């Protein structure tokens, strides 16, 4: 594996006052830059991690990262505030994909994918403290560690707004439900 560190200029006015305190597992926040650590396999499985490197997936990911640090608001559909499904819906809608209005709807409407086949740009779903065993949260896969199956994802967190988290963080590790593919 090779570790790639990407530095992305933060959007003007999109700073989150909690960003420096957020548990981001590999993401470092500075006022002017967001650094993202990505694992790149050296065994030829690059396409699995990055969704085949398609221009469309990369364009979707670029749109998603434009919103890092934007605030969470229940029912927020963007572009200035988001809830989790509002964020994923907004990002895909900018590319003419209607994926569903709620996290449950997005889970039901999109193509099921085995966790071992997950790739960049897929939707990942979790339960939430309010949803019981049902779908209650959604994010977009940023990268996949093919060695251990862990992944990072960008999502609208109720506490921190739009951030990148790791599947290995305790809260998400216990609540993972499944993967769906839009593209």
Q: Write out the residue range of the structural domain in which residue 118 sits.
A: 2-181
Q: Is the pLDDT of residue 87 over 90?
A: yes
**Is residue 114 annotated as part of the catalytic site, yes or no?**
no
Greatest distance between any 2 Cα atoms in the chain: 42
Residue 1: the pLDDT is: 43
The tally of domains found in the chain comes to 1
- pTM (predicted TM-score): 0.74
- Given 84, 95, 110, 116, which residue is catalytic? 84
115 three-state secondary structure: helix
Question: How big is the CA angle at 15 (ends 12 and 19), to the nearest 5 degrees?
Answer: 150
Of 160, 161, 18, 183, which is closest to residue 79 (Cα–Cα)? 161
Least confident of 6-10, 21-25, 55-59: 21-25
Nearest to 36 by CA among 175, 140, 163: 163
Residue-wise pLDDT tens digits, 37-75: 444 444 444 444 444 458 999 999 999 999 999 999 999
Choose the weakest-confidence range: 73-82, 85-94, 123-132. 123-132
Asked whether the predicted pLDDT for residue 123 surpasses 80, the reply is yes
84 included as an active-site residue: yes
* Whole-number pLDDT of residue 27: 43
Residue 35 has pLDDT above 60, yes or no: no
Q: Which of 29, 67, 110, 137 is catalytic?
A: 137
**What are residue 161's phi and psi, to 5 degrees?**
80, -155
> β-pairing, 123-126 with 176-181?
antiparallel
pLDDT of 152 strictly over 60: yes
At 37 the pLDDT is 47
Confidence of residue 131 (pLDDT cuts 50, 70, 90): confident
- Confidence label for 10 from pLDDT (cuts 50, 70 and 90): very low
| 145 belongs to the catalytic site | yes
CATH number of the domain within which 12 lies: 3.90.1720.10
């Amino acid at each position: 594996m090779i570790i790639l560190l990407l530095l992305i200029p933060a959007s003007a006015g999109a700073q989150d006052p909690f960003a420096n305190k957020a548990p981001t597992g590999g993401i470092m926040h500075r006022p002017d830059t967001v650094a993202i650590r990505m694992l790149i396999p050296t065994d030829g499985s690059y396409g699995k991690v990055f969704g085949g490197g398609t221009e469309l997936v990369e364009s979707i990911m670029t749109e998603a990262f434009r919103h890092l640090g934007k605030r969470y608001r229940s029912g927020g559909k963007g572009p200035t505030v988001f809830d989790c499904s509002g964020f994923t819906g907004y990002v895909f809608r900018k590319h003419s994909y209607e994926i569903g209005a709620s996290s449950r709807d997005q889970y039901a409407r999109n193509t099921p994918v085995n966790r071992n086949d997950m790739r960049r740009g897929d939707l990942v779903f979790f339960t939430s403290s309010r949803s019981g065993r049902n779908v209650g949260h959604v994010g977009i896969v940023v990268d996949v560690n093919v060695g251990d199956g862990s992944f990072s994802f960008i999502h609208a967190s109720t506490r921190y707004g739009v951030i990148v988290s790791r599947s290995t963080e305790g809260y998400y590790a216990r609540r993972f439900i499944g993967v769906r593919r839009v593209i």
